[in-house]
């Protein structure tokens, strides 16, 4: 994906398509930003996380905006909302679990799952507020059809957040939702200093 962005940037400069070149650069910078941030916080991301983050940003900004996937595929926005909510649900679980240093008995599994769910839905709601603010301030159409688009996105966010929270709950019970358990275990294994009380 980084190679595609580099090639597109060069081609855009060659063809003097300045907005496209700007989007390619912005996308590249945004894919690196989370990696720089977590490294400063002393967190080590498994490659599965790195690939997921890069793919999501690439799909959202470059494919969505530059390649007009939002207009060409009616399901593109919903798919990204579902994926991001699922990811934030898992991230929310890991953050809460980190606060307890990996002690699975510090709180009931349902409580950790509920906090993870709330975290993911909050992120989704804040994004919708951001879209509304940008549309109101700059006359854009990020919300597309207005209320229907916003409510549809929130419904999808709730579904994704529920799946992410369920993945955390299942993990604490020794089960998995898809490959979620392996994903979370990989994160914990690479950050053992943050999960000192964790026991398999």
Compute how many other C-beta atoms are within 10 angstroms of the C-beta atom of residue 63.
20
**pLDDT tops 60 at residue 1:** yes
Compute how many other C-beta atoms are within 10 angstroms of the C-beta atom of residue 124.
22
CA angle 15, 19, 24 (to 5 degrees): 90
Mean pLDDT computed over 11-33: 84
> If we measure between CA atoms, which residue out of 117, 115, 122 comes closest to residue 161?
117
**pLDDT tops 70 at residue 199:** yes
For all residues of the chain together, what is the average pLDDT? 86
CA gap 167, 173 in Å, rounded: 10
pTM beyond 0.85 = no
Mean pLDDT computed over 74-92: 91
* DSSP character string of 41-105: TT----HHHHHHHHHHHIIIIIIIIIS-HHHH-TTHHHHHHHHHHHHHHHHHHHHHHHHTTT-TT
- CB contact set of 45 (below 8 Å; sequence gap of 6+): 35, 38, 53, 187, 190
Written as six digits, the tokens of 44 are 């080590």
How high is the pLDDT of residue 142? 60
> If we measure between CA atoms, which residue out of 74, 69, 73, 34 comes closest to residue 54?
34
CA gap 82, 91 in Å, rounded: 14
Residue pair 92/115 in contact (Cβ under 8 Å)? The answer is: yes
How high is the pLDDT of residue 24? 83
Distance of CA 84 to the CA centre of its chain: 4
**pLDDT tops 70 at residue 140:** no
Sorting pLDDT into bands at 50, 70 and 90, what band is 197? confident
**pLDDT tops 80 at residue 47:** yes
- CB contact set of 68 (below 8 Å; sequence gap of 6+): none
Pairwise pLDDT comparison (122 vs 146), residue with the higher score: 122
């Amino acid at each position: 994906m980084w190679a595609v962005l580099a090639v597109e940037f060069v081609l855009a400069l060659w063809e003097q398509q300045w907005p496209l070149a700007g989007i390619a650069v912005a996308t590249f910078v945004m894919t690196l930003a989370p990696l720089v941030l977590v490294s400063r916080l002393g967190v080590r991301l498994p490659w599965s996380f790195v690939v997921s983050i890069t793919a999501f940003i690439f799909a959202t900004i470059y494919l969505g905006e530059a390649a007009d996937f939002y207009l060409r595929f009616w399901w593109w926005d919903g798919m990204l909302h579902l994926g991001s909510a699922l990811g934030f649900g898992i991230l929310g679980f890991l953050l809460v679990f980190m606060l307890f240093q990996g002690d699975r008995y510090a709180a009931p599994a349902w409580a950790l799952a509920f906090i993870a769910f709330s975290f993911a839905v909050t992120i989704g709601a804040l994004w919708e507020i951001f879209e509304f603010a940008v549309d109101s301030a700059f006359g854009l159409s990020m919300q597309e059809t207005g209320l229907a688009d916003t409510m549809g996105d929130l419904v999808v966010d709730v579904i994704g957040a529920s799946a992410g929270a369920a993945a955390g709950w299942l993990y604490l019970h020794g089960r998995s939702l898809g490959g979620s358990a392996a994903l979370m275990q990989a994160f914990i294994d690479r950050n053992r200093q943050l999960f000192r009380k964790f026991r398999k």
